[in-house]
Amino acid sequence: ETSPVHLAVDLGASSGRVLAGKVTETGVQLEEIHRFSNGGLDLGKRLVWNLLGQWEQITEGLSRAAGIYGKRVRSVGADTWGVDYVLLDRQNDMLGPCMHYRDGRTAGVMEKAFQRLSRSEIFRATGLQFMEINTAYQLLAMRLEESPQLDIAERFLMVPDFLHWQLSGEQVNEFTNASTTQLLDVQSGNWSRPILDAFEIPTHLFSEPVQPGHCLGNITRALQMRTRLDRSVEVIVPATHDTGSAVLAVPADSFASENPDWCYISCGTWSLMGVELARPVLSEACQLLNFTNEGGVNGSVRLLKNIAGLWIVQQCREQWKREGHDWSWEHLLNLASQSPAMLSVVDTDDSLFLAPDNMPEAVCEFCRRTGQPVPQDPGAIVRCALESLALRYRLTLSYLEQLVGHSMKTIHMVGGGVQNRMLCQFAADACGRPVVAGPVEATAIGNILMQAIGSGQLSSIQEARRLVRLAKDIVVYEPQPAGRWDEGYAKLQQFLLAAKP
Ligand code: LFR
């Protein structure tokens, strides 16, 4: 076999991976080369990335890939979740640890930001949703803590930019991930001077963002020696924001059209639900509903909302593990399927679920607080969380349709969460639309397809998506008319009304 191989480095909430991908006429063939854990590191005062450990694992993965594929490896590129970054001093040394966005230092910082620049001014400039985790508030938190790091920093790199620098020796800011900072101007695609100034963030830390597909040249000599990869291997920047890569790999037959009739849910720890557009939506309604306009590939915009996602059930599982029960997903879903439907509904995006010590207890607490039956066992808790998530999808779909002014025919679900077949069926039922689920490995596939485009092997996103449509793991879930979804939905709306100030 001689088809070229592209390597994707993909760092996710629980694990990091190096994958090899071949792009041929029959689709994208993926192989996982190396997997390692990537949880945050709790230092007591700070929750941080183990970034240097990750880099070591990545080079291990690259060495293995070199051993397997030799000279066939053409390129490599990295993606991770958004918002997290590294600062370098004038000698290119890292300043402090790389902070994790779930660290508590940004609590309350958004309100302080609004004293400097109003909510609507920030929205009009950036088009971004307001989340405490955004880089803008992480940097402002440093300013407010009077961190000396900000004073001696010379360079700001998002985590994938840092990895690309290690891979290639070049320092750039990639556009899709830069757009998650809430520091980019939504019109120009460049850093927003008024926002940086208002938050006292030095402008010289940033360079004009480069677009996905950009080639940074060959891997460094040091990396070549260490991994035995060929010196000709190129570093090609994908959509380095994982969600940007995942949405590239939606098996749709259109790209950034004026009137998309499909929406997506990129489904993992978070559920990112939205549409792909050619232009941002900057209306008052968009700001009120707190939707975001994130930068995508080839100038596309992802109008979407962050939904808490599988976080709640993942954390339940962790808690039960701590209590001595290492239950598999399959077992838990089986229990859930035997539990009564729509016993109780929770608002998955309630702050109660952000970072509780005991997630199953938090679910019960929400039910108690709202006068509903309290789920009595793990099956009932999982069922409640998944049904509630599907109801959030329905709500978000209604907001989306309101914002774009027409209805969606299909929901594409991509990402690891798609393996949860119960959730896919619930999503179809709750929303009353067919769900096209898959591919599971959307992020890695999107990363690799962008490298294939950047290296000239493919000519367009449409061509890339045609190959994704050949994926074997795409399953359609038709909505079932039965169920108590209307009843559950009415409850969710009640909670939201009650929570309004
Ligand atoms: C998903 C994701 C979301 C972003 C969140 C935090 O992995 O990248 O798009 O809002 O993580 O960065």
pLDDT value, residue 167: 98
Q: Is 61 in the pocket of ligand 1 (CB under 6 A)?
A: no
Q: Is any ligand 1 atom within 6 A of the Cβ of residue 296?
A: no
Q: Are 129 and 290 in contact (CB under 8 A)?
A: yes
Q: How far is the CA of 328 from the centre of ligand 1 (A)?
A: 25
The string of DSSP letters for 195-216 reads: HHHHTT--GGG--PPBPTT-EE
Residue 82 beta carbon below 6 angstroms from any ligand 1 atom: yes
Taking residue 188's Cβ as centre, other Cβ atoms within 10 Å add up to: 10
Among 242, 347, 349, 429, which one carries the catalytic annotation? 242
Take residue 392 and report the two structure tokens written for it.
Answer: 């959030």
pTM (2 d.p.) = 0.97
Q: Is 347 exposed, middle or buried (0-12, 13-18, 19+ CB in 10 A)?
A: buried
What is the 305 CA–ligand 1 centroid distance (Å)? 11
377 has catalytic annotation: no
Closest CA to 73 of 238, 225, 237, 231: 231
Cβ neighbours of residue 7 under 8 Å, at least 6 residues apart?
A: 18, 19, 20, 21, 33, 61, 62, 65, 73, 75, 76, 77
158 CB under 6 A from ligand 1? no
Opening angle at CA 101, ends 98 and 102, nearest 5 = 120
Percentage of residues of the chain with pLDDT beyond 70: 100
Mean pLDDT by groups of 10 residues along the chain of 501 residues: 94 94 96 95 93 97 98 98 98 96 94 98 98 97 96 98 98 98 98 98 98 98 98 98 98 93 96 97 96 98 95 96 97 97 96 92 97 97 98 98 97 97 97 97 98 97 97 95 91 91 63
Give the three-state DSSP class for 175. Answer: helix
Complex ipTM value: 0.97
Considering the chain, what is the average pLDDT of its residues?
96
pLDDT score, position 501? 63
